[in-house]
Structure 1
Amino acid sequence: MEEKRQVAGIEKDAGADDQVNNIMSLMNINDKDKQILVIIHGIGGIGKTTLAKFIYNQVSCDFDVLGGLQLLQAKLISDILKRELEDVAFINRGIEFFRDLFCNMRVLIILDDVENAFSVQKLVRDCFDCFASGSRILVTTRNSSVLEESPQIRTYNVSRLDTDQALQLFRQHSSILNPSSRSTIELLNPASNSMTGLPLVIEIMGAVSNGKSQNAWDHFKVCVEFQLKRWDFQSILEEGYKTLSYEQQQIFLDIACFTVGIDSRIAWYLWYDTSFLPSCEILTPLAKIGENNQIWMHSMLRQFGREIVCQESHTDPRRRSRLFNHEIALSTIKQKKMQNLRVIDLTGCADLLVTPKFSGCQNLVILILERCSQLVKIDHSIGDLKCLLSLNLKFCTELIMLPVEVGRLTALKELLMDGTSIQEIPISIGHLKQLETLIASNCFSLSQLPRTICHLTNISLLSLDGTRISALPNSIGELVRLKHLSLRDCRRIRKLPNFIGNIGRSLVELDVSGTGVSKFPDSLKNLQNLKVLRMDSCFFTEFPPDIGELTSLEEIHASWCRSLEGSIPSGIKKLHNLRILRLRYSSITSIPAEIYQLSNLQTLDLLHSNMLEELPTLPPSKRIRL
C-alpha cells in the first residue's frame, strides 16, 4: 500500500485521507444554494494546516475567487484578524473591502490558526452574506469555541493518529534500520503515549532518527519516553535539538528567527559561504519547502528556536546571536557596528519613518522592510551594502522613491517593491548586473521603466502588474535571460514592441491579461520556448494566426476576451504539448477538427462561449467545461 501521496506538491501524511473526506462532506461543495463555514479545530501539532492545504488544492478550481493561505500571508485577512479587539475601525475597513471586492462572487477563503473569535464573528455577521451562494470559509483553530455550530457553521475535530498510522508516518520520515521493532511500536502507541498521536511529534522523532544508528535511536527513545507520558513537548524538542550537529542547529535557529516565508533560494545565501550548506533532507520536517519555494516551519518549532536564542542573554540583546524583535533590532543597530549581521527583518514596523544607517552592517545579505506602512525614506547608506542579495520593500505604501544609491548594490539578486508608491525606478538600476528578480506589481504610480533596464542581463523574472506603464522600451529584447514577463492589468499598454521576439530562447511565460493589447507583434512566433501564454480580458479580435509556431506551449489562457471571435487557426494542431486551453466568455465560433491530435490536452474550458457553432471530436478522457 502506498505510504505517501502528493497533492499539488504537498506530502499527504498517514491517516489524512479519511479526515479530508470528512471535511469535504461538511463543506458540501456541490450545494450551490448556501454559504457554509467549516471550523477545523484541534490541539497544536495535530495537522490542521496540512488538512486545510489539501482541501484548498482539491476544491479551489470550483470557485470564482480564492482567498487561501497565500492571501493570509499577503496580509489581507491576517491583518484584520490579528489587530487588537478595540481596533474596530480597522476591522470595519476590512469588511468594507470585502463588500466592494467580493460582492456577488462565489469565494473560497481559508483562515489559518485563528484564535480571535470576535474577528471571525465580525467577518461572518457583516460580510459572509455578501458572498454569493455556494461560498465557503474554512477556519483552523486550537480554540473549539471560536464559533458556535449552526446550519451554516459546522465543526470538525481533528483526531489523533492510531498506532498503525503513527508507525506509517514515522516510516515516511525515518531512516533507522528497524522502525517496526517492538520497542518502537510501543513508543508510538497512542494508547500508552497519547502525545504520539500528534503528527508533528512523529515527524520530529522521525527527523531525529535520520542518519543515526539503531543504538543511537534506542538511546533517544529512552530519553523521550518519560516526556511523552508527561506531555512534555518542550523537553522532547530539547532532546531532538541536542541530536542535531552544530551546523544543523545553526540552520534551525536561522529559519526559526528569520527565514519562515522567505524563498528558499534566497535563504540559501545565508549559509553559502559556510562549510555546512543545507540540503532538503535537513530542512524536512523541522522545516519544509512549501508553495512558491517558501520555507515553512510549524509555529511551535519556531517559538522553541526563538526561546533558545533569547536564553543566550536574558538582559543584553546585543549578546544574542540573532535579533528578531523589531524594536530591539532597531535599537541595537542604531547603537554599535554589527559587521557579522546577515539578516535584518523589520516586517510590519508600522512606526518606522526612515531606515537606520546601514554603514555598520556591510555584510548584510537580506534586508526585509515589508509592510513598514509609514516608511518614507531609505537612508543613502544602503549603497554600502555590497553583499546584499535581497531587498524587500513590499507594501511600503508611503515610499515614493528609491535612493539612487540602490544602483551600488552590485550583488543584488532580488528587488521586491510590490504595492509601494514608487513613481520611478532610478536609472542607476542598470548597474545591478546580478539582478534576477524585479517585482513592481501594483505600484500604481509607476509610469515608466528606465532605459537602462536593458543592462539587467541576468534578470529572469520581471513583474509589472497593475502599474501605469504605457509602453515597454525596445531594449526589452536585450534581456536575453528573461523567463517570466508579467504585465497583467497594465491597462495603458496598447502594444508590445516587436523586439520582444529577441528573447525567444529564454521566455517561458508571458502574461498580458487585462492590458489594452489587441494584437501580438509578428515576432511572437520567435518565442520558441514559451510554455504559458496568458491573454485574459484583452481586446483581441482574432486568435494569433501564428500560434502553431509556438510548439512549446503548454497553456493558453484567453478567457473574457469579449472581442475574440472567428475560428481558432488549424495550426494549433502543432501544439503537441498543449495541456490547457481556456476560452470561456469569448465569441469564438469554431474549433478546428485537428484539435483531436492534441493528445496531451487535459482542460478545454468553453464556459459561456455561446457563439460556438459546433464541437469537433475531442481527444478522449479529457476534462471539458462548456
Structure 2
Amino acid sequence: MELLELEANDIRVVGIHGRDGIGKTTLANIIYDQICLRFDACSFLAEIEQTTEQPGVVRYLQTMLIFDILKKEYEVASAFKRVRYLKEIFRNMKVLIVLDDVESESLLKEFVGAKLDWFGPGSRIIVTSKEGRVFQDFAARGLAHIYDVIPMDVNLAFNILWQHATEEINVNLAFNILWQHATELRSYVKIAIEIVKAAKGLPLLLKVFGYFLNGKGLKDWVEFKNLTQQFHEDPQKILRIFYDALDQQQKLMYLDIACFPPDVDYGIASCMLHHYVYPHDKMKVLHERCLITVKKRKIVMHSMLRFLARKIIREGFHDPGTGVGWYLPAIAQDTNEGKKETNHLNTEEAGYDIPPNTTFLSLGDANIGGHFADALLNVRWLHWQGCPRDAINIHLEKNENLVILDLSWSKVTESWEGWKRIKMERLKVLNLTGCVDLLDTPSFSCCPNLELLILERCSRFVHLDPSINDLKLLVTLNLKFCSELSMLPVEMAGMNALKELLIDGTSIRELPESIGKLVRLQILSATNCFSLARIPGSVCGLEALSELAMDDGKFLELPESLGNLRELRRLSLRSCRGLGKLPEFNSIWEDFFGYSLEELDISGTGILRLPDSTKKLRRLRVLKMDSCFLREFPDYIGDLISLEEITFSGAGVWRESSPPVFRDYIFSKN
C-alpha cells in the first residue's frame, strides 16, 4: 500500500515479484478488492502468461481490458488502432489494472505502453511476475516500484501447516489426547518443523502438505518428511507425491483440468467431466487436497500444479492395466517457431501439429487445414477464441463427440459457414462471449441438447432466434452486456429446464409474461437494465426463484405477490429510483418454513417505509438502505435475530431526533 501511494497523482506500476507459489496473485487479489472502489474503472486480467500461449490472444486480452474499463465493446482491428484507442479512451480516466503473471517486458508494454502515458492521473497498474527484469526499464525511469514477496516467517508457516494437518480434530479432544501423550506430540512437532523447512515458506506447499498429512499416523509423517528432504530443492518432485497418491480417475481429472483455460467456469468444466463416475466427488477430493480451488463459480489451479500436470502429459501417460483409457487434452503447438507471423494462421501453412486423440483443442486465431479432419474426430472441447471470419476449412462434420464449442472474442456472424460444418447434436455449451459482429443467433435446431448458452458482451447483438424456445435442456442463458438487445422472445415456456437468466446491462424494456412458466428458474439477474420499465405479475409464479436482482431499473412498482416467493433469498433493488414501496412479505409457507429472505437491498430507491411484514424476516442477514428516503428507522430491527449487516449511510432524515437503538447482540456480530 505504501508503494501504491494512492494519494499521489502520478501514474505508476507496482510490481509484485517473487517465486512460484509465494502468494503473488493472492496478494494482488486482496489489494484489488481493498482499493478498487477508489478508481473510475478497474480490470483484473488473470494468468496472462498461460493465456497468451495461443497465437493472437494478446489482441483479445486488450479487447477485454477495454470492455472492463468502458463496459462496452470497441472494434480494434489492428495493433495501431488498439494503441490509439487505449491512449484516447483511457488517458482521462483514473483506472486500476492488475496484470497477473507477466513474464516479459514486451508483453507488459502491450497493455500499458512504453511511456506509461495511456492512462489518467492517479492510475495504478499492479503486475505480478516471477521475472524481475520485467520491471527494470520502468523502474530505471522512476515509473515502477517493486515489492519483493519474501517467504513467510517460520512460525507463521508452522501454524499454517499445523492448522491444515489437524483441521478435523476436535480441539478439546485433541488437548486431552495430547496431554496424555506429550512425548508423541513433541515428535509430531519436531517432524512438522522439518517439513516446514522443506516448504521454504511457500503457502501453496504448506497447505498441500497439511491436507496430505491430515489424519495420518506418526510413521506416515516420518516417511513424508524423508521425501520432502530428499526433494526439497525441486518443489515439482514434491508435488508429484500428491499426484501419485490420487486414484486413477482422480489423476485423469486433475490432468484434464490442468489443460483447461485458466479460471474456467465451473459449469463449463462440469460438462467436459460428466463422463467420470461421480465427477463432483472426485472434484471435491482435488479441492480438499488443494490441487484446485473453486471460487466465484470458477475452477482455479495454481500455475505450479498446472505446470506439473502438463509435464506429466508430455512425458507420456501409461495406464497399467486399469482399463481406463487415456485421451490427451492438448493445445495445438506451432512446429515452425521461427516462421514469420501471419494475421490468420493456417495450421497447414504455419506448421501446426494436432496430436491424435486430442479431446481439448485450443487454437487462438489459427485456421484449421483440411488434412486435420481425422485428428479432430475425438475433440470434445474446441476452444477457438479469435476464430477468423473466413475460417471455412473447418472439418468437424464427422465429429460425434463435440460437447463444448468456445468461439468467444471471434469474428463469427450468424451466417458464418462454420455453423454448417460443425456437428453439434451433442453440444452442451456454446460460448460466444465478445463476438461483436454477431447481430442474430443461428438456428438452435442443430444443437437440441444445449445446456449453457453464453452471449455475454456481444455489443451489437439484437435478436434471439425463436428456436431457442425448443432448447428443453437449457440451464443457463447469459445475455449480460448485450447492450443493443431490447427484448426477449415472447414465448419462453419451452425452456422449462432454465435455472439462470442473466440479462444485466441489456436494453430490455419489459419481461415477457411467459417468463412465469420457467418453473425451475432460480436466478433472474437484470442489473443495469436502465430501460426496464415493467415487471409482469407472472414473475410471482417462479416458485424456485432464490435470487432476484433488478438494480437501476426504471419500473415504478413491483407485483403485489412478489413477497410470496418462498424460496427467495436475495432481493436487490438498488438505485431503482422510481420505486416507492415494497410489497408485503405474506408467504403462505411462513408457518411451516419461515421466510427465506437473507439479503435485501433498497439503497437509492424512493421507498419511504419498510412494510410491516419485514419484522417477520427472521433469516435476514443483510439489510442495505443507503441513500434512501425512509422516514423512520424500523424499531423492530433488534427482533431480526439473524441480522449481521445494516447499512444506511446517506439516508434521509429520521423522524425521531434520537439515533436508532440497536440490541447488544446486534453489535456483537459487528
Structure 1 runs not aligned, ≥5 long: 1-22
Report the alpha carbon displacement of residue 477 of structure 1 after superposing the two structures with TM: 0.7
Report the alpha carbon displacement of residue 473 of structure 1 after superposing the two structures with TM: 1.4
* Deviating more after overlay: 476-485 vs 364-373: 364-373
Q: Does 1:479 align with 2:518?
A: yes
> Which residue is equivalent to 2:74?
none
Question: Which one of 584, 588, 597 corresponds to residue 553 of structure 1?
Answer: 597
Equivalent positions of 1:437-448 (< 5 A) are 437-448=476-487
Counterpart amino acid of residue 114 in structure 1: V
Equivalent positions of 1:477-516 (< 5 A) are 477-503=516-542, 505-516=543-554
Q: Against the structure 1 CA distance between its residues 590 and 204, is the aligned structure 2 distance closer, same or farther, given a 3 Å change threshold?
A: closer
Structure 2 runs not aligned, ≥5 long: 52-59, 68-77, 168-183, 317-327, 336-352
Equivalent positions of 1:17-416 (< 5 A) are 38-57=14-33, 67-68=43-44, 75=61, 87=79, 89-99=81-91, 102=93, 109-115=97-103, 116=105, 117-118=108-109, 122=113, 125-126=116-117, 129-130=120-121, 138-144=126-132, 146=135, 147-148=138-139, 155-171=146-162, 184-185=191-192, 188=195, 190=197, 196-203=200-207, 225-229=229-233, 232-237=234-239, 241-258=243-260, 260-275=262-277, 277=279, 278-285=282-289, 287-310=291-314, 317-319=354-356, 321-326=358-363, 330-331=368-369, 334-336=372-374, 338-349=376-387, 353=391, 356-373=394-411, 377=416, 379-381=418-420, 384-404=423-443, 406-416=444-454
CA distance in 1, matches of 2:439, 2:445: 17
Counterpart amino acid of residue 356 in structure 2: R
Report the alpha carbon displacement of residue 317 of structure 1 after superposing the two structures with TM: 3.0
Q: Against the structure 1 CA distance between its residues 161 and 389, is the aligned structure 2 distance closer, same or farther, given a 3 Å change threshold?
A: same
Q: Against the structure 1 CA distance between its residues 332 and 92, is the aligned structure 2 distance closer, same or farther, given a 3 Å change threshold?
A: same
Report the alpha carbon displacement of residue 243 of structure 1 after superposing the two structures with TM: 4.8
1:324-370 alpha-carbon deviations (Å, 9 max, x no partner): 44167944885226443221112344666569353222222222122
Counterpart amino acid of residue 296 in structure 1: V
> Which residue is equivalent to 1:567?
609
Report the alpha carbon displacement of residue 485 of structure 1 after superposing the two structures with TM: 0.8
Q: Contact conserved, 2:358 with 2:379, CA < 8 A, in 1?
A: no
CA distance in 2, matches of 1:206, 1:476: 49
Q: Against the structure 1 CA distance between its residues 120 and 426, is the aligned structure 2 distance closer, same or farther, given a 3 Å change threshold?
A: closer
Q: Contact conserved, 1:408 with 1:432, CA < 8 A, in 2?
A: no
* Deviating more after overlay: 421-430 vs 277-286: 277-286
**SS of residue matched to 2:619:** coil
**SS of residue matched to 2:492:** helix
CA distance in 2, matches of 1:219, 1:593: 62
CA distance in 1, matches of 2:568, 2:111: 43
Q: Does 1:584 align with 2:626?
A: yes
CA distance in 1, matches of 2:27, 2:576: 37
CA distance in 2, matches of 1:184, 1:237: 19
Using structure 1 for the length normalisation, give the TM-score: 0.78
Report the alpha carbon displacement of residue 578 of structure 1 after superposing the two structures with TM: 2.4
CA distance in 2, matches of 1:87, 1:533: 44
Q: Against the structure 1 CA distance between its residues 456 and 274, is the aligned structure 2 distance closer, same or farther, given a 3 Å change threshold?
A: same
CA distance in 1, matches of 2:620, 2:124: 32
Q: Contact conserved, 1:348 with 1:369, CA < 8 A, in 2?
A: yes
**SS of residue matched to 2:631:** strand
CA distance in 2, matches of 1:539, 1:609: 13
Structure number with greater CO (CA < 8 Å, separation at least 6) is: 2
Using structure 2 for the length normalisation, give the TM-score: 0.73
Q: Contact conserved, 2:211 with 2:288, CA < 8 A, in 1?
A: yes
Query: Aligned Cα RMSD in Å?
Result: 4.3
CA distance in 2, matches of 1:284, 1:110: 28
Report the alpha carbon displacement of residue 443 of structure 1 after superposing the two structures with TM: 1.5
Report the alpha carbon displacement of residue 380 of structure 1 after superposing the two structures with TM: 3.5
Q: Against the structure 1 CA distance between its residues 227 and 567, is the aligned structure 2 distance closer, same or farther, given a 3 Å change threshold?
A: closer
CA distance in 2, matches of 1:69, 1:170: 30
Q: Does 1:424 align with 2:468?
A: no
> Which residue is equivalent to 1:605?
647
* Deviating more after overlay: 391-400 vs 318-327: 318-327
Counterpart amino acid of residue 48 in structure 1: K
CA distance in 2, matches of 1:570, 1:41: 55
1:360-418 alpha-carbon deviations (Å, 9 max, x no partner): 222222221222245562634478423222211111111222221x2342322211111
Q: Contact conserved, 1:355 with 1:378, CA < 8 A, in 2?
A: no
**SS of residue matched to 1:588:** coil
1:568-615 alpha-carbon deviations (Å, 9 max, x no partner): 334322222223233333333333323343333333333323444444
Q: Does 1:467 align with 2:506?
A: yes
> Which residue is equivalent to 1:617?
661
CA distance in 1, matches of 2:254, 2:466: 40
Report the alpha carbon displacement of residue 88 of structure 1 after superposing the two structures with TM: 5.8
Q: Contact conserved, 1:537 with 1:559, CA < 8 A, in 2?
A: yes
Report the alpha carbon displacement of residue 271 of structure 1 after superposing the two structures with TM: 3.3
CA distance in 2, matches of 1:208, 1:594: 49
Counterpart amino acid of residue 581 in structure 1: L
How many equivalent residue pairs?
580
Q: Contact conserved, 1:318 with 1:332, CA < 8 A, in 2?
A: no
**SS of residue matched to 2:232:** helix
Q: Against the structure 1 CA distance between its residues 77 and 578, is the aligned structure 2 distance closer, same or farther, given a 3 Å change threshold?
A: farther
CA distance in 2, matches of 1:368, 1:452: 27
Q: Against the structure 1 CA distance between its residues 621 and 208, is the aligned structure 2 distance closer, same or farther, given a 3 Å change threshold?
A: closer
Q: Against the structure 1 CA distance between its residues 621 and 42, is the aligned structure 2 distance closer, same or farther, given a 3 Å change threshold?
A: farther
> Which residue is equivalent to 1:20?
none
Q: Against the structure 1 CA distance between its residues 538 and 179, is the aligned structure 2 distance closer, same or farther, given a 3 Å change threshold?
A: farther
Q: Contact conserved, 1:260 with 1:297, CA < 8 A, in 2?
A: yes
Q: Contact conserved, 2:609 with 2:631, CA < 8 A, in 1?
A: yes
**Share of identical aligned residues, percent?**
28
1:35-84 alpha-carbon deviations (Å, 9 max, x no partner): 88654321122111122334445566777765446899995687589xxx
1:65-108 alpha-carbon deviations (Å, 9 max, x no partner): 65446899995687589xxxx946424423544456x55xxx65
CA distance in 2, matches of 1:211, 1:618: 45
Q: Contact conserved, 1:350 with 1:371, CA < 8 A, in 2?
A: no
Q: Contact conserved, 2:21 with 2:202, CA < 8 A, in 1?
A: yes
**SS of residue matched to 1:126:** coil
1:220-242 alpha-carbon deviations (Å, 9 max, x no partner): 7666645433xx44544556545
Report the alpha carbon displacement of residue 158 of structure 1 after superposing the two structures with TM: 1.4
Report the alpha carbon displacement of residue 517 of structure 1 after superposing the two structures with TM: 0.8
* Deviating more after overlay: 387-396 vs 285-294: 285-294
Question: Which one of 480, 488, 491 corresponds to residue 452 of structure 1?
Answer: 491
Q: Contact conserved, 1:36 with 1:153, CA < 8 A, in 2?
A: yes
Counterpart amino acid of residue 199 in structure 1: P
Report the alpha carbon displacement of residue 501 of structure 1 after superposing the two structures with TM: 0.9
* Deviating more after overlay: 465-474 vs 388-397: 465-474
> Which residue is equivalent to 1:436?
475
